[in-house]
Amino acid sequence: LRMSVGVVVALLSALCWTGLDTVRKRLATFIAPLPLSTIIGAGMLPFFAAWCVSTEFRLPPAGYIPFAAAAGACGALGGLLFVAAVARSPFSVTIPYLAFSPAVSAIGGLLLGERLSPSQWAGIVSVAIGGFFLQTPRGATPKRNLVVQQFRAFREEPGVRLMLGAAVCWGLLPVCDKFALTFTSAAIHGLFVSSAAVAFYLAALWHRRAAHELAAAGSCWASCIVAALLSTAALGLQLTAIQMIPVAFVETIKRTVGLLSATLIGRLAFAEPITVRAVLCTGVMGLGVALLLLT
């Protein structure tokens, strides 16, 4: 029962992350990325503070600090690498590498004593392969097949290695979170990591002398509140889920839902065609999730 509830919570978290991505894309037309991240992060703080107050609030022991700092570092570094990657190379070339984050979580989960069966490892690999080729650029021909394209991009595109670094950081993040949650509650940890992120973003804005860019939120404050609510729910549910099921399960569900939702939104919102490759990759990812959760 605990496993089933954990999977449902992880799925709800993944749906909230997808909703956040949708709202954030709309807001990005009005607000630059750094002030937008600052506004959303600041909007999360009252919700996490209220969650802390509604539960038994205790300051975490000293043992919490190293793991909380590691979680904050993974989150911040992953975000920086992501932004740097898409700034240096095409989005369609770099984004497939995020499909490898569940494999990183599975390897990191070994430190937590979370050992997967061979069939579950096969599921992780299936999700990585399906997600990787689902997001690669369309238009490959027998002379320029997808594998060759991606190996060439890995050698020639500077953003690819940066995105792979982001995948490693974000794959390790739930591992650090789970270690931290052995010392404190999800509410307190969520408040800490959100506060740390906001402090980092504010420092970056101050360094760039760009604090005035925060004023852009005035024209779309309602959407900013929705984004903050979705972000709080996504992170809170994710922190709850990793206490119930292995971190690799949570990260796999998150990436699978995110990648498939991106394809579906592309079809519904932008009339992008559903190709045979997309159907095959979706099937491979679905098989991977089934192997992971049902074996």
- pTM here? 0.85
Kindly state the average pLDDT of the residues 212-232: 87
pLDDT in tens, 35-63: 888 888 899 999 999 999 998 778 899 99
Q: Please, are residues 259 and 75 in contact by the beta-carbon 8 Å criterion?
A: no
- Residue 271's pLDDT band (cuts 50, 70, 90): low
Instruction: Provide the CA 286 distance to its chain's centre, in angstroms.
Output: 19
> Between residues 223 and 237, which one has the greater pLDDT?
237
Asked whether the CA dihedral 50, 55, 58, 60 is positive or negative, the reply is: negative
Residue 223 CB burial class (10 angstroms; 0-12, 13-18, ≥19): middle
- pLDDT tens by residue, 3-23: 889 999 999 999 998 888 888
Question: Model confidence at 144, in pLDDT bands (50, 70, 90)?
Answer: low
**In this predicted structure, what is the pLDDT of residue 150?**
64
More confident residue, 142 or 229: 229
pLDDT at 30: 83
pLDDT number for residue 135:
63
Confidence of residue 255 (pLDDT cuts 50, 70, 90): confident
Phi, psi angles (nearest 5°) of residue 141: -120, 170
Residue predicted with more confidence, 10 or 205: 10
Tell me the pLDDT tens digit for each residue of 98-129.
Answer: 888 999 999 999 999 999 899 999 999 998 88
